[in-house]
Amino acid sequence: MKVLVTGGTGYIGSHTVVELQQKGYEVIIVDNLSNSSIDVLDNIASITGARPMFEQFDLTDQERTKEFFNMHRDIEAIIHFAAFKAVGESVEKPLKYYRNNLDSLMNVLQGMIENGIQNIVFSSSCTVYGQPDKLPVSENSPIQKAWSPYGNTKQMSEEIISFTTDVNDIQAILLRYFNPIGAHESAKIGELPIGVPNCLMPYITQTAVGIREFLRVWGDDYPTPDGTAIRDYIHVVDLAKAHVIAIERMIENRGKKKVEIFNLGTGNGFSVMEVIKSFERSTGVKLNYQILERRLGDIVEVWSDTEYANKELGWKAEKTLDEMTLSAWKWEEALKRNSEIAK
């Protein structure tokens, strides 16, 4: 069975491709490589023994996307990751985020309608909850005003999918991620942002390895126990496995309605300082960090109620925070070794 993975050379996408291939799925990736490398394909092949099919183009290109779907009429399901994802950057460049994240989704949905593809798993986010009034957040928690254009694109995307399924033979699973970190145990794939990282974990590892002079901690005056923002961090492989389960659920027609929503997290909230301490504890490497002012778009705290996903999907996050931070460090060390060999 063929599955299209958009954004499949990216961080979460590449780990999901590995899990799909290891389950026997045929995978085709579409990615414009704006925040990833073509080398990821060889690294996936090194892990799974199979190099996924790949086409490089921008899904915001309506005509090119239409051509792609016309050429691949045997696709049975889609996992849609392709999107810009940095909260801070979205505040600075809102139109970039609206144009890219919404146009690409609508073009994919149009391709599904025109080619009879019935199944889509959408990469959503806990940012749809805004700053929740009550924690932890469940799938039934109210959708609050978004704190960033990125979060708003996820809210709008969920609505676009919902209205589209109402009038088409399409079923969807919306996976609301919390904060993925870590890397594959092989250290052959991981988070590799182009340029200065916008996310915490790669900034930590790049600081530890000497690429960055110091780690920026955005604010220590939040109303939390240590003053830094709290998030629910989840290992990227745990997250990837949930996507395979979602695909299987749709293919086997086990869904209870046309659009299903699941939170993917651990159910535990950790502060930025707790993540720093975990990294130092698991690796033995001390971090140089500086406290800066709060960053626009960042909420105070959020973590998930995972009971519904645990029970309904039969899925549960397994990795501890120390395992997450250590795996991220092993990935960074592997990158350093490979760059030294290349010299």
Whether residue 25 contacts residue 36, with contact meaning beta carbons closer than 8 Å, is answered with no
Rounded CA separation 289/292 (Å): 10
Answer yes or no: 150 catalytic: yes
Task: Find the Cα–Cα–Cα–Cα dihedral 335, 240, 195, 207, rounded to 10°.
Answer: -60
Rounded CA separation 30/15 (Å): 15
**CA nearest 273: which of 236, 224, 238?**
224
The single residue of 150, 177, 203, 233 carrying the catalytic annotation is 150
Strand partners of residue 172: 120, 259
Whether residue 16 contacts residue 39, with contact meaning beta carbons closer than 8 Å, is answered with no
Angle between helix 272-283 and 321-342 (nearest 10)? 60
Whether residue 97 contacts residue 153, with contact meaning beta carbons closer than 8 Å, is answered with yes
Phi/psi at 209 (5° precision): -90, -10
Q: How many other C-beta atoms can be found within 10 angstroms of the C-beta atom of residue 263?
A: 26
β 230-231/75-80 pair status: unpaired
233 exposure class (CB count in 10 Å sphere: 0-12, 13-18, 19+): buried
Phi/psi at 18 (5° precision): -60, -50
Instruction: List the catalytic residues.
Output: 150
